[in-house]
Copies of this chain bind each other. A is one copy, B any other.
């Protein structure tokens, strides 16, 4: 339900992303070049910009800086996989988040919502997730269980936010590694399992019979109902 400006030169990606974001309830305007994007930006009154880095003519960094100069609208960057330099430069240029190609519509929608949420903390209700007696306040970064505050470490909190950000949905270890630990490779490490275990120890009454974070054998972990 947000007005989004998509700047992406690849025709098929542009079309499919426009459709996908439309399905998620956003109002999308799409532009194939940076110049066109900058022209559309005030016209569409975009609340958020999704911006590809590799553009013909004016590149993503330049577009990013110009949009930044015009206001504080959140910018989500699309980058090629594993291009670390791009990520850093993008953040320096003023991007709020980045998504690695190839983009999963679900993922980018989640990031968009996360960025918008982050930048729009006016309504506490929106930024609060609750399941049973567990309350997660994304604005205050606090977790409450049965009315009692639960102290969380940064990694635990990131993991919980990520999982609770997609309630009922299974997230693979790979996905969690990328989003929470920002690793792109998947060793045979028990990192994710370990994190989940530590998180469970804090929020589950009986870690042996988890209510909030469920294991889906062979696939990953899932937060919440089902």
Residues of A at the B interface (CB closer than 8 Å) are: 1, 23-25, 68-69, 71-72, 92, 94, 106, 109-110, 113, 116-124, 126, 132, 137, 139-142, 149, 153-155, 157-158, 165-170, 216-219, 222, 224-226
Q: Can you show 20 pairs from A to B with CB atoms below 8 A apart?
A: A23-B126, A25-B116, A72-B224, A72-B225, A92-B132, A106-B122, A109-B121, A121-B166, A122-B165, A122-B167, A123-B168, A124-B168, A137-B226, A139-B169, A140-B222, A140-B226, A153-B218, A155-B218, A157-B218, A158-B218
Residues of B contacting A217 with CB < 8 Å? Answer: 153-154
In the bound complex, do residue B169 and residue A122 qualify as a contact, i.e. CB atoms below 8 Å apart?
yes
User: Do B154 and A169 have beta carbons less than 8 Å apart?
Assistant: no
Q: Do B69 and A142 touch (CB < 8 A)?
A: no
Max chain B Cβ within 10 angstroms of own Cβ: one of A149, A155, A170, A219: A170
Within 8 Å by CB of A169, from B117, B140, B166, B167, lies B140
- Nearest chain B CB to A108 CB, angstrom units: 9
Cβ of A140: which chain B residues have Cβ within 8 Å of it?
Answer: 168-170, 222, 226
Q: How many copies does the complex hold?
A: 2
User: Which of B126, B139, B219 is within 8 Å of A141, CB to CB?
Assistant: B219
- Across the two chains, which residue of chain B brings its CB closest to A24? B120
Are B68 and A226 in contact, CB atoms less than 8 angstroms apart? yes
Residues from chain B with a CB closer than 8 A to the CB of A216 are 141
Residues of B near A124 (CB, < 8 A) are 168
* CB atoms of B154 and A218 under 8 A apart: yes
Q: A118 CB to closest chain B CB, in angstroms?
A: 8
- Is B72's CB under 8 angstroms from A168's CB? yes
B117 touches A1 (CB 8 A): yes
Residues of B contacting A72 with CB < 8 Å? 167-169, 224-226
Partner of A222, one of B141, B153, B219, B225: B141
B contact residues around A1 at 8 Å (CB): 117
